[in-house]
Every structure is written in C-alpha cells, then in structure tokens.
C-alpha cells in the first residue's frame, strides 16, 4: 500500500468529524439514511455522509459494495433504472434533490457525470463539448459557444491535442483522450459538482496519470466525487475517503487518516489487501 | 416403383448403419473398450450408411433426368417412317398419342402408334427394373466399400463431417441456384420482349395499352408499351405508403424502445408484429371495401372528384401494412445504441426527447435508413392491395385521388387468362418484372451496405 502518496493530500480542508461517522460541518452535499433498493435487493443501507465543497472525495470499497449506486443517487441517474427505489435524504446546498418539485434536468446540469467507460457521442469533438451548452441554451451566439468549447477543452487539458481537428469524430480519439473529452463535456455546462464513476478503469497507466493530474487541477473549482477501485488512486487524488462494504458506509475521514490509522477493522483489512 | 426405391433406400440406410455399428462395437470388444476407437460406433454406422445410400441417391437423380428421355426416344424410333414427327409441334402431338396407346385406349389410333405404345410400355418396364437393379447393386458396392475401411483407427467422425458439409452445401446451393435461375429466365424473356419493342420505348414511353392484335384484321389493338405511367403509379402509391409508415413506424419504434415500460413493451411489440402477419389479401379487401369508399365519400362531401379506386386508398392501406417492417427494424437498431450514450446524455441534463433527437436517432440513423429501404422494396413489390384497390388504367398522374396502376398489378393482369406466350403483351410482364426485381435488388443492396457500416461502428 502506497501510503506516502496520501501525504500529497495535505492541503485538504481540515474538517472535524462531528458525532456520526461521515458527518462534517458546512458540506456541499449531505446524505442522511439513504437506502437504495433494486427490486428486492437492498443495495445501499442507511448511508449518512457529507461531501466537502471544492475538494475531491473518493468512494472506495470492493465490487458490489454500493459505492457506484450511491454516486448515481447524487444526480438521480438511478431514475433511469426502472427497478430502483431510493429513500432517505440527499441535499445539495440545503436543497433536497428528491423533492418532487425539483427539475431533474436542471439538477443534472448542476451535477455533471463522467462514466466508467468513455462514452463520447458519435459526433465531432466540437459537437460533443457543445452538446450541453446547446441543450441548456448557455450560449447566445456561435462565438460564445466557440469560447465555451475552447475553455472547456483547455480545462480538460485536451485543447492542444485536438484544436486542429475539432471537426473529427470524438470516437476516433484514444481512450484517454475520449475520457478527457467526456470531462470537458461535463465541464462545459459549468456544473458545481462532478461525479466520476471509476473514470480510469478503462485507461492505461499513462492516460490514467493524465486524468489524475486533471482532477488535481480542476478540484479548486469543482466539488468532485470519485468512485475508484484503486486505493492508490484514492490516496493520490482525494482529500477525503469513504469506505463502503456490503452496502454499508463503514468509515469516512481524511484520506491520510483512513490510509494510516483507520478506526474500523474492515477498513484496515481492505486497505491492507486482506480482501477486495 | 419410385416408392419402392425410396423405401428400399431407407432400409439400406438402416441396415448399413446397424452393420457398421455392430462391426465397430466388435472392434471395441476385441481391442478393450470404446476409448481405443478413434470414432464412436455410431459414426462408423453413419459412415457405412452414407457410403451405401449416396450412390443410390445419385443414381436416382440421374435416372429421373435421363430415363423418360431414353424411353420416349425408343418409342419414337419404333414409329413407322410416315408417322415420325418432323417438328416440335407434331412431336408433342405424337407423344400424346403414344402415351394414350400405352395406357390401353387404342381406339382411333394408327397401328404404327399402337405398336410404338407397346414399345413405350416395354421400355418403361426396362427402365424401372434398371432403376432398382442398378440402384441396389450400387448400394451393395457402396456398403462393402464403406465397411471394408472400418478399423479401430478409421476416422469415421471426420468422414461423416465431410458428408455433413456436402449436404449443407447442397441445401445452400438450392437457394442460390434458384435465385440465379429466376434472374436469368426473367432476363432472357425480357431480352425477347426488347427484340419486339425497343427498350427506350418501354422505359420512356408515356402510354401503356398492352393489347396486341391476335388476328391480323383486329382493330385498334396495336399495343403501346410505354411503362412510365406504371412507374409513376408505383412511385405515387409507394410515396403515400411511406408517408404513413415512415413516421408512424419510426415513432412507434421510439416509443417501444425508449418510453414503453417493459410490461407495455412485452404486449405491444408482438401485437404490432402481428400486423405483419395479416395476409395482404385481407388488407386488400379492407382497402377496396372500406377505405376507398370512405375516401370517396369524404372527398365528395368536400366537393372533390375522387375515383372509386384511388391511389390514396391503396397507399394508405399499404402504409399501414408496412408499419411493422419499419417499426420492428427501427426498434432493433434503436435498442442497439449503447446504453452508455443514453447515460452520457441524461448525465448532461438532457431530457428524454432531447436525448433521442440529438444522440440516439443520429447514432441509429444508418439502421433506420435501411429499415426504410426494406419497407420501400416491400411496398413496391406488394401486389394484392393494389390489385384490389388501385385500378387498371395506366393514367399518368400524380393526383392521389385518381386511379393509377402499378407494375405489379399490370404483371398480374398480363398473365391472367389465356395468353399467347410469345406475344409482346405477355413478354412485357417479364420486362416489368425485371425492372421491379432490379429496383428492389438495388434497394436491398444499399440497405445491406448501410447496415454493414453501422455494425462496424459499435462492434
């Protein structure tokens, strides 16, 4: 276990753990007693956690532990799964996102998502990035749209590689470039939160390193929640970590603390490679 | 005799199978267990059975082609010189007389013919016996040839595998050769037609009136073979049909694939596909008896002059008929669009219809286009509905309220009833058929190419 890498995360905003595990003052996202059922299956049990603003929080845990399920609750992507049922409270900036009066389309504009497998649309690179601004009417003119596309691609550190071929199709890029294109696409609608569901699991180590650098750069402006299988990655990119096991949130804390002195036996077993 | 032969063939197969199996099993007993054999006893059995039956089958096919010709030739040769036929027409007549004599009714026939009938009878018997004797002799030879090869090391499995391959190739070639045969026979008749009527007149002529004079003194039946009115009528009805089936089918497919709950989908999709199973005759009388009068009365109440057999009625009903072709294929291609693209779009905050319009339809477009192509070729080739609802007069018009006629209707009309086979009128049906075939072939080809490119995109 590469624990020393966790020390990169020294700049993490120090937040005291108040009372319950996972609860901290002044968070961006708060979740209280969230349960998710897929039909009969109880996939997520009483999860209570806070996600700090403008920092990277990593959800780790073995396969099937519910970390992706919880991530997909935050932008209500579970709505697209017919059998899924969510109970409990999730608030973003003190607004209940499961409130029936809330517009899920606007919610998803505020909470961008990057998926496990790069999924650029079969359109040009330009059109991929312009997709969100177009549907949300963020640009009033072509020039404005061009500017959004350029700045998004720059933020996703892809601009230099694609600036001469914005008309080429996005699916023609390499895997790592595709994933950065997807991040640019998410950034283009200026979300406050970006959810990343194992964004590097389909990438080679070099592409992974570039995406991780990118996360490090953009975390100052966005609240990022990343689900990852790789504990090294969690240690490298995150300031806070939540460990899930069998649908239960076992422990949350500052990255450094989780990787050096976990409180729960299961967390310790997992980070030392006893299971998972 | 044929029946005996076929039953005999089955018996030979069964016997040879048993014998081969037995022999192989005895190897196993002698050599210590089945594992010593290269192939299981049943493979040895199959191998021997195939070795015995295959020559019988080949002989049967040869016999079916050759026997009656040889028999007929012998009968003709037995005729006295003055009765020997000189041209195909008298040949046919003479053969009929000989057959009649051979079947026993000799009344009114010339003695020479009666004698030929006896010869025919004799040769028929010879041919039948030849079938049996040669066939079974070949079976015995084949059996021993096969059985002699059996040994514990003999690779009967591989041998059977080869036979299986040969059989499958034979079945596949039946389909392929039939297609090729149809194409060529239609092509040759078309060329014959073009030797009577120049092709440019057929393809570009504006008047269709295919009545040709049967007698030299007949009036007013010179025949005009300008097929443009038929092409126009076909195109008009096809366009009306696609105007119905295109949007309705596509939107139905979108609903099925994207909006319908699994429960609704499980019921609605099969029901929609039942529409494809309704016989076209049923659609035809629906068009002729319900839709056409309705359009006519509606049109008259609006002060329009509507023919009782209108292109609109035929086109509308045909459109309904091909809805399932569009919807079923489009549904498949829409479902084939990866879920990750939908997730990506929803994750950006797009609504369902935005996702469909901007991501799913563009991604599925090639497949949808090819679904439309197949529907068009179906609409162009459809006969029954237009026969019953479209009309026969070759009006060159694009007014959907008038009666028009289509290529398929004319083919059917030209070939129904007593016809001289080599008149321009009959042959024109082949030319029309060839044009139709060529058109649907091109459409299918384009559709397949598009689908292929589409597959590459996601695999």
pLDDT 10s digits, A64-93: 888 889 999 998 988 888 788 899 999 998
Q: For residue B48, is it within any domain?
A: yes
Bridge-partner residues for A59, per DSSP? A227, A242
Q: Point out the least confidently predicted range of A2-6, A181-185, B138-142, B431-435.
A: A2-6
What's the pLDDT tens digit per position in A26-62?
A: 788 999 999 999 888 898 899 999 998 889 999 998 8
**Candidate from A75, A82, A106 with C-beta closest to B261:** A82
State whether residue A75 sits within 8 Å of chain B by CB: yes
B14 and B80 assigned to the same domain:
yes
Inform me whether the pLDDT recorded for A17 exceeds 60.
no
pLDDT at A16: 40
- Side-chain-side CA neighbours of residue B152 (13 Å): 12
* Per-residue CA distances from B411 to A101, B196, B407, B431 (Å): 64, 18, 6, 9
- The pLDDT of residue A143 is 93
A241: left (phi over 0), alpha (psi -120 to 50) or beta: beta
Please tell me whether residue A198 adopts helix, strand or coil conformation: coil
Mean pLDDT, chain B, rounded, equals 85
Q: What is the pLDDT of residue A178?
A: 92
Please report the pLDDT score of residue A2 as a whole number. 43
Q: Residue B201 falls within a domain, yes or no?
A: no
Contact check, Cβ <8 Å, B346/A106: no
How many residue pairs bridge chain A and chain B with CB atoms within 8 Å of each other? 67
Residues of chain B whose C-beta is under 8 A from some C-beta in A?
261-262, 338, 340-351, 354, 358-359, 362-363, 457
- The pLDDT assigned to A5 comes to 40
Sequence-ordered list of residues with C-beta below 8 angstroms from that of A28, at least 6 positions apart, any chain: A51, A52, A53, A54, A92, A93, A192, A193, A223
- Give B242-278 pLDDT, tens digit per residue: 999 999 999 999 999 999 888 898 898 888 888 888 8
Select from B154, B175, B205 the last residue of a domain. B154
Name the strand (E) or helix (H) holding B56. helix B41-77
What ranges in B262-360 are assigned the alpha helix state H? 262-277, 280-286, 292-301, 311-336, 339-347, 352-355
Strands A56-60 and A240-245: parallel
B159-165 own/partner pairs: CB under 8 Å, 24+ apart: B159/B43, B159/B47, B159/B50, B160/B43, B160/B46, B160/B47, B160/B50, B163/B46, B163/B47, B163/B50, B163/B54
Q: Which residue of B has its CA nearest to A79?
A: B346
Mean pLDDT of chain A: 85
> Which backbone phi and psi does B143 adopt, to 5 degrees?
-60, -50
B67 plus B172 within the same structural domain: no
- All structural domains of chain A, each given as residue ranges with its CATH number in brackets, are 4-11+26-271 (3.40.50.300)
- Judge whether residue B186 has pLDDT over 80: yes
Question: CB–CB of B352/B274 below 8 Å?
Answer: no
Predicted confidence (pLDDT) at residue B345 exceeds the cutoff of 50? yes
Last residue of a domain, one of B121, B154, B187: B154
> Is residue B233 a part of any domain in this protein?
yes
Count the domains in chain B.
3
Is B192 found in the same domain as B116?
no
Please give the model's pTM, rounded to 2 decimal places. Answer: 0.74
By the CB < 8 Å criterion, does A102 face chain B?
no
Q: Round to whole Å and give the CA distance between A179 and A115.
A: 8
* ipTM score above 0.85: no
Question: Which helix (H) or strand (E) segment is A34 a member of?
Answer: strand A29-38
**B368 and B347 housed in the same domain:** yes
Q: Give CA angle at B129 (B125, B130), nearest 5°.
A: 115
- Over residues B149-166, the pLDDT tens digits come to 888 888 888 888 888 899
Enumerate residues 23 to 62 of chain A having a beta carbon within 8 A of any beta carbon in chain B. Answer: none
Residue B214 within a domain: no
pLDDT in the model for residue A21:
53
- What does the pLDDT look like over A99-153, one tens digit per residue? 888 888 889 989 999 998 899 998 889 999 999 999 988 888 999 999 999 999 9
pLDDT of residue B459: 43
Contact B348 A119 (CB under 8 A): no
- Mutual orientation of helices B292-301 and B311-336 as an angle, nearest 10°? 120
Q: Is residue B216 part of a domain?
A: no
Say if CB B156 and CB B147 are below 8 A apart: no
Whether B213 is in a domain gets the answer: no
> Does residue B388 lie within any of the structural domains?
yes
Task: Report the C-alpha gap between B310 and B313 in whole angstroms.
Answer: 5
CA angle B151, B156, B157 (to 5 degrees): 140
B136 and B23 part of one domain: yes
Closest chain B residue to the Cα of A186, Cα to Cα: B348
pLDDT number for residue B455: 59
Q: Are residues B245 and B267 in the same domain?
A: yes
- The band of B444, judged by pLDDT with boundaries at 50, 70 and 90, is confident
Cross-chain residue pair B349–A80, CB shorter than 8 Å: no
Domain, as residue range, for B30 = 2-154
Answer whether residue A185 shows pLDDT above 90: yes
d(CA B210, CA B227): 10
Q: How far is CA A241 from CA A72, A247, B185, B236, in A?
A: 17, 16, 77, 67
| pLDDT for the residue numbered A19 | 45
Same domain flag for B276 and B419:
yes
A189 — contact with chain B (CB < 8 Å)? yes
B233 with B375, same domain: the answer is yes
Q: Please write the tens of the pLDDT for every residue from B29-69.
A: 877 777 777 888 888 888 899 899 989 999 999 999 888 88
pLDDT of residue B117: 84
Nearest Cβ partner for B347 among A108, A122, A123 = A108
CA nearest B383: which of B350, B355, B405, B359? B405
Most B CBs within 10 Å, among A76, A131, A172, to test the B interface: A131
Which residue on chain B is closest to A77 by alpha carbon? Answer: B347
pLDDT at B180: 93
How confident is residue B353, by pLDDT bands cut at 50, 70 and 90?
Answer: very high
Strands (E) across B29-152 are located at none
User: Which of B346, B349, B356, B453 should we substitute to test contact with A (largest number of A Cβ atoms within 10 Å)?
Assistant: B349
Does B42 map to a domain? yes
Q: Are B271 and B404 part of one and the same domain?
A: yes
Query: What's the CATH number where B371 sits?
Result: 1.10.3720.10
Work out the pLDDT band at B220, boundaries 50, 70, 90: low
Question: In terms of DSSP H, where are the helices of chain A?
Answer: 67-74, 104-110, 125-136, 142-155, 159-162, 175-187, 205-218, 231-237, 255-260, 265-271
Smallest Cα distance from A35 to chain B, Å: 21
pLDDT band at B240 (very low <50, low <70, confident <90, very high): very high
Shared domain for B166 and B299, answered yes or no, is no
Co-location of B235 and B168 in the same domain: no
Cβ contact, residue pair B343, A105, below 8 Å: no
A46 touches A214 (CB < 8 A): no
Neighbouring C-beta atoms of residue A39, cutoff 10 Å: 11
Based on the domain organization, do B144 and B170 belong to the same domain? no
| pLDDT tens digits for range A53-66 | 889 999 998 888 88
């Amino acid at each position: 276990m590469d624990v020393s890498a966790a020390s990169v995360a020294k700049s993490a905003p120090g937040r005291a753990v108040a009372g319950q595990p996972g609860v901290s003052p002044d968070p961006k996202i708060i979740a209280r007693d969230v349960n998710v059922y897929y039909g009969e299956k109880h996939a997520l049990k009483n999860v209570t956690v806070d996600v700090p603003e403008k920092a990277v929080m990593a959800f780790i845990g073995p396969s099937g532990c519910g970390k992706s399920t919880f991530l997909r609750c935050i932008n209500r992507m579970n709505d697209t799964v017919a059998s899924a049922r969510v109970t409990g409270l999730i608030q973003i900036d003190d607004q209940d996102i499961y409130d029936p009066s809330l517009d899920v389309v606007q919610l998803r504009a505020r909470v961008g998502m990057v998926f496990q497998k790069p999924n650029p649309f079969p359109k040009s690179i330009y059109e991929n990035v312009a997709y969100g601004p177009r549907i949300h009417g963020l640009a009033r003119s072509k020039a404005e749209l061009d500017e959004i596309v350029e700045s998004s691609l720059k933020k996703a550190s892809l601009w230099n590689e694609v600036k001469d071929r914005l008309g080429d199709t996005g699916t023609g890029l390499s895997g790592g470039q595709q994933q950065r294109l997807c991040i640019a696409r998410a950034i283009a609608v200026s979300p406050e939160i970006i959810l990343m569901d194992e964004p590097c699991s389909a990438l080679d180590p070099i592409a992974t390193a570039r995406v991780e650098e990118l996360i490090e750069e953009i975390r100052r402006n966005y609240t990022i929640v990343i689900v990852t299988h790789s504990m090294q990655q969690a240690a490298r990119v995150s300031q806070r970590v939540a460990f899930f096991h069998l649908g239960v949130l076992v422990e949350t804390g500052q990255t450094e603390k989780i990787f050096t002195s976990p409180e729960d036996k299961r967390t310790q077993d997992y980070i030392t490679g006893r299971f998972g | 005799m044929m029946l005996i032969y076929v039953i005999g063939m089955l018996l030979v197969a069964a016997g040879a199978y048993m014998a081969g199996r037995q022999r192989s099993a005895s190897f196993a007993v002698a050599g210590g267990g089945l594992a010593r054999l290269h192939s299981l006893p049943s493979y040895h059995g199959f191998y021997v059975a195939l070795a015995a039956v295959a020559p019988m089958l080949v002989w049967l096919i040869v016999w079916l082609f050759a026997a009656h010709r040889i028999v007929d030739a012998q009968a003709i040769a037995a005729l006295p010189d003055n009765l020997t036929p000189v041209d195909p027409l008298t040949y046919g007549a003479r053969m009929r007389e000989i057959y009649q004599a051979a079947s026993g009714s000799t009344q009114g026939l010339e003695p020479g013919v009666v004698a030929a009938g006896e010869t025919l009878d004799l040769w028929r018997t010879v041919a039948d016996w030849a079938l049996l004797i040669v066939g079974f002799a070949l079976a015995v030879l084949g059996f021993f040839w096969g059985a002699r090869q059996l040994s514990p090391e003999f690779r009967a499995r591989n041998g059977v595998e080869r036979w299986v391959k040969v059989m499958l190739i034979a079945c596949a070639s039946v389909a392929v050769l039939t297609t090729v045969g149809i194409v060529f026979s239609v092509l040759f008749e078309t060329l014959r037609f073009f030797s009577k009527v120049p092709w440019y007149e057929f393809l570009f002529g504006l008047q269709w009136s295919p009545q040709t004079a049967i007698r030299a003194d007949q009036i007013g039946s010179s025949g005009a073979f300008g097929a443009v009115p038929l092409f126009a009528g076909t195109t008009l009805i096809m366009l009306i049909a696609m105007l119905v089936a295109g949007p309705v089918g596509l939107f139905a497919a979108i609903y099925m694939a994207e909006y319908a709950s699994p429960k609704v989908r499980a019921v609605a999709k099969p029901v929609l596909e039942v529409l494809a199973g309704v016989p076209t005759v049923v659609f035809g009388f629906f068009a002729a008896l319900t839709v056409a009068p309705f359009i006519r009365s509606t049109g008259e109440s609006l002060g329009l002059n509507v023919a009782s057999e209108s292109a609109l009625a035929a086109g509308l009903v045909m459109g309904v008929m091909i809805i399932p072709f569009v919807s079923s294929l489009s549904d498949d291609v829409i479902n084939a669009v990866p879920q990750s693209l939908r997730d990506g779009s929803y994750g950006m905050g797009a609504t369902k219809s935005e996702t469909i319009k901007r991501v799913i339809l563009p991604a599925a477009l090639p497949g949808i286009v090819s679904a439309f192509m197949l529907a068009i070729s179906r609409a162009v080739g459809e006969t029954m509905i237009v026969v019953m609802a479209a009309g026969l007069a070759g009006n060159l018009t694009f007014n959907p309220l008038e009666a028009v006629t289509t290529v398929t209707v004319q083919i059917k009309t030209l070939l129904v009833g007593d016809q001289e086979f080599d008149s321009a009128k009959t042959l024109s049906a082949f030319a029309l058929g060839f044009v139709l075939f060529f058109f649907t072939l091109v459409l299918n080809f384009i559709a397949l190419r598009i689908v292929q490119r589409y597959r590459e995109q996601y695999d």
